[in-house]
Amino acid sequence: MLTIREYKKAESLEEAYTLNQKKSNRVIGGMIWLKMETLNVGTAIDLSGLGLDTIEETETEFRIGAMASLRALELHEGLAAYTNGAMRESVRHIVGVQLRNLATVGGSLYSRFGFSDVLTMFLVLDAQVELYKGGIVPLSEYAESPKDRDILVRIIVPKKNAKFNYQSVRISQTDIPVLTCASVKDENGYRFAIGARPARAQIYAQSVDKTAEQMAEAVRAEIKTGSSLRGSAEYRRHLAGVLVRRRVIYHLYKLPQVTINNEKVLLHDGEVFDIDGIKIECFLVPGHTWGHMVYLVDGKYLFTGDTIWFGADGGYSFISALAEDNKLAVKSLALLEKKLKKRGLHPLFITGHTGWTDNIEFAFAHKNALCSPFKKRAHDPNALYDAYDESDDTEENAKSGYLKGVGR
């Protein structure tokens, strides 16, 4: 549980810096990851009044305020044009629009998460970070340095003649990546930033006189990968070569975009519609979001989205820190179970992040409990699977039987 004793909206960077020198105080950004921690904060320092949420473009660079949201990165036309669409591609899979409207660029880079799409992308842009006291520092240097009490003010991206690309591999579209790969081709050759190894991204440089196969083989030989429940070290090493090869052979500067001009229709609870003979029924389950829906397909497959989180011992209401209203989420889950059982339905439960089950009792085993992923550690067979802290997420634990029975 996150506890904040005092809140202060900083009126200057100097005030924010001074407050942040006390260890119990914290700078707050979008509060996406911070609120998942068990932490007592003395003073929460809010930078939102300092004008750091803008993206400025000049002829020579982009200057991105630390409080700019990931959604702002996604929608910025200048960044999209300069990066050949890679910036948009790097953030569009990060959970959902609601989260991207909250999560900040500064928070993403300061956290230095191994799975960070944002860090991976900015590394190949040769970005620099501007610190209030520390001045301008290369991001590559900042990412490897220990966290300190300085204030991250903005990110500076210099413009140059180059082509960029971003690729990632995920188990599901909005899940944390198995591997990320940002790349740039300029007069010096190719450089690949590969992250979610599962460690944070690092740069691998290759000269243009090599073939695609030679580059892929060289990166596979150099890269250091680890194993987790999302993939083994060998699998990640293989993927690194695949993504490098695709970039070089197919010149994937910009991924193809598909535009669907269908009219948007608001769906309602209990509504049934048909798509090419496939029957789809809507169930409103508000809580995670106010309008969250699950969909029953042909009476057999229930796509639950972010309604249920499967732990080793059954389903829980989805991650508490990401919900709009946790009490409503629990209530909605209980009502969904009641509706299904009343109609004698026993579908396959297909979640957005934690697999599937055909066991309705397993799916609703802890319907009145919230998933708090940082509360317990992954070594406990009765604990929830922690999707954000992979320190215990090892190949050994994966083979130990920890997940035995999940999905059945």
- Count the Cβ atoms, other than its own, within 10 Å of residue 145: 10
State the pLDDT at residue 310.
86
State the pLDDT at residue 323.
79
pLDDT at 405 over 50: no
> In which band, very low, low, confident or very high, does the pLDDT at 400 lie, cut at 50, 70 and 90?
low
Q: Which fold has domain 55-250?
A: 3.30.465
pLDDT digits (tens, 9 = 90+) for 86-102: 999 999 999 888 889 99
State the pLDDT at residue 338.
95
In the predicted model, what is the mean pLDDT of residues 262-274?
89
Domain ranges of the chain: 2-46, 55-250, 272-399
State the pLDDT at residue 259.
65
| Cα(373)–Cα(55) distance, integer angstroms | 34
8 Å CB contact between 275 and 243:
no
pLDDT digits (tens, 9 = 90+) for 110-147: 999 999 999 999 999 999 999 999 999 999 999 999 99
> In which band, very low, low, confident or very high, does the pLDDT at 377 lie, cut at 50, 70 and 90?
very low
State the pLDDT at residue 319.
80
Q: Hey, what amino acid is at 101?
A: N
pLDDT digits (tens, 9 = 90+) for 192-236: 999 999 999 999 999 989 999 999 999 999 999 999 878 899 999
State the pLDDT at residue 22.
96
Residue that has been written with the tokens 């044009």 in this structure:
81
pLDDT at 180 over 60: yes
State the pLDDT at residue 244.
93
State the pLDDT at residue 407.
35
**pTM as predicted:** 0.72
Instruction: Report in angstroms the alpha-carbon separations of 271 from 20, 274, 335, 365, 388.
Output: 52, 10, 17, 27, 35
Mean pLDDT taken over the chain? 87
In the predicted model, what is the mean pLDDT of residues 382-397?
44
DSSP string, 363-405: HTTEEEEEE-TTSS-TTSTTSPP-SS--TT--HHHHHTTTTTT
pLDDT digits (tens, 9 = 90+) for 144-165: 999 999 999 999 999 999 999 9
Phi, psi angles (nearest 5°) of residue 16: -60, -45
pLDDT digits (tens, 9 = 90+) for 21-55: 999 999 998 787 777 777 899 999 999 999 999 99
State the pLDDT at residue 393.
45
State the pLDDT at residue 326.
87
State the pLDDT at residue 397.
53
